[in-house]
Amino acid sequence: MGKEIGIDLGTTNTVVSYVNKKGKLRQLRYDGKEIIPSVIYFQSKSEYFIGDKARKFLKENPQAGVANFKSTIGSTERHEITPEDGKPFRLRSKDIAKLFLGKISNGIENKLIKEFGAAEGVIDRAVITVPANFSSTEKSNTRNAARDVGFSDVKLTAEPTAAAVAYEDSQGEENSDAVILVYDFGGGTFDVSIIRRRGGAFEEITTGGDKHLGGNTLTNIIAQEILNKINDDYGVEFPFDEEDFDEDEHGISLTNYKLNMNSIWDTANLIKENLSDTENISMNFNIFLPGDKAELMEVEFDRAELENYIGKYIERTADITFQTIQRAKNEYGIEQINQIVLAGGSSNIPLVKETLERRLKNQDIVFCDDVSTLISRGAAILAQRHAEFESMSKAVTAMQMGIVATEGVHFGKFQVIIPEDTPLPCTKKRTFYLSSDNLKKFEIKYYERDIKNYPRALFSRDDGIEEIDTVIIDNLPPNLKASDAQIEVAFIAQKDGSLDIGVELVDSAGNKIKSEKLSVNKKSDLE
């Protein structure tokens, strides 16, 4: 029997926890660091490194690696990478996640073997945390990346659930009953979950959040202000988005532009972090100007100025939190929240707690000692209790899943198949009809609707409705008549929120039509 680990695969940082021989929760170090930057850097296509070293090298050569790959793990778009050897290649984020997790696995397994021995120290099981609002494809790609690394048993759990498990474990009340709200403000996403603990089980009641709002959003706001100051002070017009940059128009090389933006972003992030502990800060960094001139830039910020820039985003997280509490009360009969637990690195910002205390009066708001490791510790507890995992954590769907009408007056209108807050796992079926005779291939696009944040979203073009993937049903039997056959599709949402698809071809009487060559795939798996 091998060892179990919990992995908080974060947008900006990753943390790995385990239970040591003395039964204590500990973080595993990679290259001497408990907090591992989620960054990868390539010397060549086959030679690469990750973490703090990768982050440092990426500052000098920004085209040779990728940071924040988790934010696009559901996409089929490929990153353009030019490694040190000058031979460019392209990789999807889910492939980068596999490489990243592989390095971590190799780096920490030796430490586990030293502590537990050759048999018990090999990593066998892993629980990986994901945002509560991750799409089914993002969850599937995360799970598959870990499986491809070689973990024999991989399970996913929502980050707020892991935080609740770790918090309750720290209280030492194994069988207590409580309703916990977890406010999880990470680098890439904001999640809020209301979780009911009954004995040793953690049951999601309802979730909320914004998958496009995180600590990086706040950093970008500060970075934009720094860029505005550079443009004003030096009479240049550097754009914030790389797609708007032009070497001839802006007078510097693409490499130097990327170096500028990396320096600006890193400085903005340090300003945000340091102003949690101090009232003002001054920082210097180098920038490149037209004519390949380098200048030393100085920027000053104080906490009041920072809060002025980011205040509306913190207020939005409080709005979502309040709405989630009201939904739990009105729709699920939750009358009292026992604790509000803050998790995620961005919860360190003083304005977060101040805003929540002002908006959510008479609530017990708990700020844990180390929010940066809380989630991975909860994952490690769930990994160690693998035999109880199914009963310990009970999840619900964060969003609606469905399709859109492909013809008629309701063309493009969203149709719900699996509602929000549906307990997982679940299976919902839908019948589809062939559009013509002799079809060889049938495709079904499916979508997710963020009904909690976008209640008025109705059509696929509306904000809040996002195309997730396409089911491709290929090699349909020859000479198939549209009037004589139909396709029954089972949308199977697994316990971790990932989606599997089951397909049966039936005749007009509902009898199964046998077809040995019929193939069913997701488009994302084929690209």
Question: Would you list the DSSP string of 55-83?
Answer: HHHHHH-GGGEEE-GGGGTT---EEEE--
Q: What is the pLDDT of residue 383?
A: 92
* Pairing mode, strands 339-343 and 178-185: parallel
Q: List the beta strands (DSSP E) in 347-478.
A: 365-367, 393-394, 400-404, 414-418, 426-433, 441-449, 465-474
Q: What is the pLDDT of residue 376?
A: 95
Q: What is the pLDDT of residue 437?
A: 87
Q: What is the pLDDT of residue 288?
A: 94
Q: What is the pLDDT of residue 408?
A: 78
Rounded CA-CA distance 85/119 in Å is 39
Q: What is the pLDDT of residue 174?
A: 60
Residues of the chain under the 50 pLDDT cut: none
Looking at the chain, the whole-number percentage of residues with pLDDT higher than 90 is 64
Q: What is the pLDDT of residue 173?
A: 63
Q: What is the pLDDT of residue 507?
A: 83
Helix (H) or strand (E) holding 298: strand 293-302
Helix (H) or strand (E) holding 509: none
Closest by Cα among 139, 316, 360, 140 to 212: 316
Q: What is the pLDDT of residue 259?
A: 92
Residue 526: strand, helix, or coil: helix
- Torsion sign over Cα 2, 4, 10, 14: negative
- For residue 279 the two structure tokens come to 């009232």
What is each CA distance from 241 to 72, 117, 185, 246, in whole angstroms? 17, 50, 24, 11
Residue 205: strand, helix, or coil: strand
Q: What is the pLDDT of residue 1?
A: 66
- For residue 8 the two structure tokens come to 């908080």
Q: What is the pLDDT of residue 315?
A: 97
Tell me phi and psi for residue 333, to 5 degrees: 70, 25
- For the entire predicted model, the pTM comes to 0.90
Tell me phi and psi for residue 428, to 5 degrees: -125, 140
Closest by Cα among 378, 382, 374, 303 to 342: 374
Q: What is the pLDDT of residue 434?
A: 87
